[in-house]
Structure 1
Amino acid sequence: MHTDDFFSTKPDGNVDWTEFRTGEWVCQVWSLDADLMKSLRFGPLSSHADLDVALALTRLLHEDFVARGTRHDERMTDEEVVLAVKAHRAVLSRLGLEPPQLPFRHHSGFYDYWRKNDMSGGGGWQARRECIEELLGPTREALEELQENEYERRFKKGPGGTFKNLIFAAIGPKPKIVLRDAVNNDVEIVQNAENCLVYSDPLPAHGLTWRQMVTWWTKNHMQPADEPAAADALYRRLYRSLDSLPEQVLLHTYCARYAEPEGFDLPALIPQVYLHYDPYTRRSPEHSGALYRQRMDFLLLAPDRSRIVIEVDGAHHYGTKNQADENRYDTYTASPKLYSEMVAEDRRLHLAGYEIYRFGGWEITQPDGPETISRFFTELLDRHKKPTP
């Protein structure tokens, strides 16, 4: 996207000398598209990705402030700069980036700022350029890093498609899902929707954090509530969706990290996520090719855009239950068929770009189980940490 795309009027040779500034007539032939700027505050454009828009807006602000500080031939008025800055902040927020903290709101404010900070007189032009670079340069570099990551992702075998929603943490009967719009791949839960949670907010560039999950929960399920109370309620709701001790131990061990400094900015561990919905049963001879695994035990959407699946395997994953013996202990016989189905689905997910890690339920319930889990997550989060801007 080019900076010119933000303007509804562009130089075409028809000069209109209508504005008088600083003792001389100035040609005013640019007009910022105010409607476009306002629309960017409420959502992405259909024609350009947010990343491309953010880069172009960063260049626009950089170029216009430098022009104001040197040649006085900026294209935007003070009011237009305010609109551009607001749009810039909104787009950066959707990308998961902190907007730059500008100490002025518009060109007039920049003029007052440089006069108060010894950027007038000899060497003033260079000082003002350096000032704008210091304010906007880190944002541009962070966006360019995101762009490089995006290029790499396209050439790597990462997960295909676009994130649309998460259906997770079902309690009781599983949800029944239909494909409402096959063109847009829109799904709808037509039965048992009240038993599950659905996250459909835009997914930031750097994964899905616990803080973002808590914000979503507060907005949709617990208004009004402060962040700690909402976080506690959401954790309890997620915990209720688990019906095995090993899964409960794993969730509890990971979620303890949320209480650490900056813990709310860790990736959220999402339980019982529906990977796909298969309307046919595997026992039906007419549909022997039906999908094996409909639900993941846990999902992490990591800062480096990886999608990480964590499975906790009980004996029923790889064995068939025997008739109870006289001591009423459950025993299982190893089933090559069940094991083959499980690893075949793993291969399919691997080829689709997911990372899969498996825990045996037995190892989690051992005395050192929580320590094993904690050590694993420390190494996993370090491997998938947010790219440095």
Structure 2
Amino acid sequence: MDVEAFFSSGDGWSGPWVLDVGLVESLRFGPPAGRTDLDVAIALTRLLYDDFVAHGTNGQGRHLDDENVPVVMKAHRAVLERLALEPASWPFRTFDGPRGFGTYWRDNGMSGSWKARRDCIEQILGPTRDALEDLQELEYERRFTKGPSGSFKNLIFAADGAKPQIVLRDAVNNDVEIVRHADTCLVFTDPLPPHGLTWRQMVAWWTKNHEADADERTAASTLYRRLYRSLDSVPEQLVMRTYCARYAEKGGFELPALIPQVYLHYDPYTRQSGKQSGALHRQRMDFLLLAPDRSRIVLEVDGVQHYGRPNPPDEKGRVTWTAVPRLYSEMVAEDRRLRLAGYEIYRFGGWELTEPNGEHLLENFFTELLTRHQKPTL
């Protein structure tokens, strides 16, 4: 949650901000919809810390005033108490005046030292910040223990020709090998960062392995076009275009990379020859996101072939489809398996993405998804 959420207007840190007093006062009774007390506590701590440090140093960059600082302090205390944390102990309540920070630092020998004033704020809010960071890590670990077991090892994706034939070479070490059509797909084997895989990290990998002399923007454009070529359908292409448009926005390169056509889940079986290798049934995902909260998110775009079979063309050449319960059952059984393994799965019907509002539907979905799976920051 960004501190901007507490203000009703403003243009970044340099513009005039107006505190949404009603919103801040409501935080004493619970977090806003879609947020947690941890999100709110982190943002309020950052707001108070930055404003008091700004007041105690160069006096610039403040966004609160003497009238609304106590409102924020009360909300901060209430949220921390709901989290069972010790609230900060403030020896002052405002910036200026008899009970202000200025009076406090003059009375306590800090008049000639910006560092002493910064250290004062650190002493007041540092323990709160540290406690919130500990809660963050506990939350990450809680989510991660519900996530996929095992560690990331192979990411094979984006085949733009014949599909890769993959075998298990070492069942003990889970080493896989592409024995046919390796040239049609991409293989990411770099260490996976603990908090997901961003577009910037994907571009860096691509540059290192495929386009060493390119600058970041050029490499990103080439990688995007290469990924786009692997898509099988118009609805899948719409998903890719809609999400990847966010890469061009401010901070877009830090978003989780949308990885198409992923061959990640395997059911190995041993060949009859008895060798420790075997062909692998390929269970391809349409899209994968490795989110900053350590979630692994699967997106599937279902055409009619996922649950039906075509009938012979009629006299006018039109093809109809017949629902096949077995196909639907296989699809939902695979969903259950992946969910039990800790993955999140979201399915789109191809038909809904061909409707006039398909792009708008995806934009709203991705906004909510990224908000849910963002990494809180202090």
TM exceeds 0.5? yes
Per-residue CA deviation, residues 150-191 of structure 1 (Å, 9 max, x unaligned), is 54146x422111111210001222112222232222222222
SS for the counterpart of 2:297 is: strand
TM-score, with length taken from structure 2: 0.62
Counterpart of 2:12? none
Counterpart of 2:331? 342
Counterpart of 2:138? 148
Counterpart of 2:187? 198
Counterpart of 2:83? none
The alpha carbon displacement at 1:146 in A equals 5.7
Counterpart of 1:176? 165
Counterpart of 1:219? 208
TM-score, with length taken from structure 1: 0.60
SS for the counterpart of 1:275 is: strand
Counterpart AA for 2:217:
P
User: Aligned partners of 1:336 and 1:291: how far apart in 2?
Assistant: 25
The alpha carbon displacement at 1:324 in A equals 1.7
- Structure 1 residues 245, 362: closer, same or farther in 2, change over 3 A? same
Counterpart AA for 1:235:
Y
Residue 331 (structure 1) aligned with residue 312 (structure 2): no
User: Aligned partners of 1:291 and 1:359: how far apart in 2?
Assistant: 27
Give ranges in structure 2 of 5+ residues lacking alignment.
Answer: 1-108, 270-278
The alpha carbon displacement at 1:138 in A equals 11
SS for the counterpart of 1:158 is: coil
Q: Map 1:277-316 to 2 at 5 A.
A: 277-278=266-267, 294-316=283-305
Give ranges in structure 1 of 5+ residues lacking alignment.
Answer: 1-118, 281-289
User: Aligned partners of 1:374 and 1:346: how far apart in 2?
Assistant: 24
- Structure 1 residues 182, 130: closer, same or farther in 2, change over 3 A? farther
User: Aligned partners of 1:269 and 1:382: how far apart in 2?
Assistant: 15
- Structure 1 residues 217, 337: closer, same or farther in 2, change over 3 A? same
User: Aligned partners of 1:255 and 1:215: how far apart in 2?
Assistant: 17
Per-residue CA deviation, residues 17-62 of structure 1 (Å, 9 max, x unaligned), is xxxxxxxxxxxxxxxxxxxxxxxxxxxxxxxxxxxxxxxxxxxxxx
Counterpart AA for 1:316:
Q
Q: In angstroms, what is the RMSD of aligned CA positions?
A: 3.2
- Structure 1 residues 296, 225: closer, same or farther in 2, change over 3 A? same
Per-residue CA deviation, residues 48-99 of structure 1 (Å, 9 max, x unaligned), is xxxxxxxxxxxxxxxxxxxxxxxxxxxxxxxxxxxxxxxxxxxxxxxxxxxx
Q: Which of the numbers 360, 367, 374 marks the counterpart of 1:371? A: 360
- Structure 1 residues 140, 190: closer, same or farther in 2, change over 3 A? farther
Contact 1:180/1:188 (<8 A) preserved: yes
Per-residue CA deviation, residues 202-255 of structure 1 (Å, 9 max, x unaligned), is 111221111111111001100110111101000000000012111011101111
SS for the counterpart of 2:265 is: coil
Taking only the aligned residue pairs, the percentage that are identical comes to 66
Counterpart AA for 1:380:
L
Counterpart of 2:262? 273
Contact 1:303/1:387 (<8 A) preserved: no
The alpha carbon displacement at 1:331 in A equals 1.7
Counterpart of 1:322? 311
Counterpart AA for 1:269:
L
Residue 387 (structure 1) aligned with residue 376 (structure 2): yes
Q: Which of the numbers 231, 236, 245 marks the counterpart of 2:234? A: 245
User: Aligned partners of 2:143 and 2:159: how far apart in 1?
Assistant: 32
Q: Which of the numbers 145, 156, 162 marks the counterpart of 1:167? A: 156
Counterpart AA for 1:181:
D
The alpha carbon displacement at 1:132 in A equals 9.8
Contact 1:209/1:265 (<8 A) preserved: yes
Q: What is the total number of aligned residue pairs between the two structures? A: 259
Counterpart of 1:262? 251
Contact 1:320/1:332 (<8 A) preserved: yes
The alpha carbon displacement at 1:126 in A equals 8.4
User: Aligned partners of 1:143 and 1:163: how far apart in 2?
Assistant: 25
The alpha carbon displacement at 1:297 in A equals 0.3
Per-residue CA deviation, residues 351-384 of structure 1 (Å, 9 max, x unaligned), is 1111110101011111111111111111111111
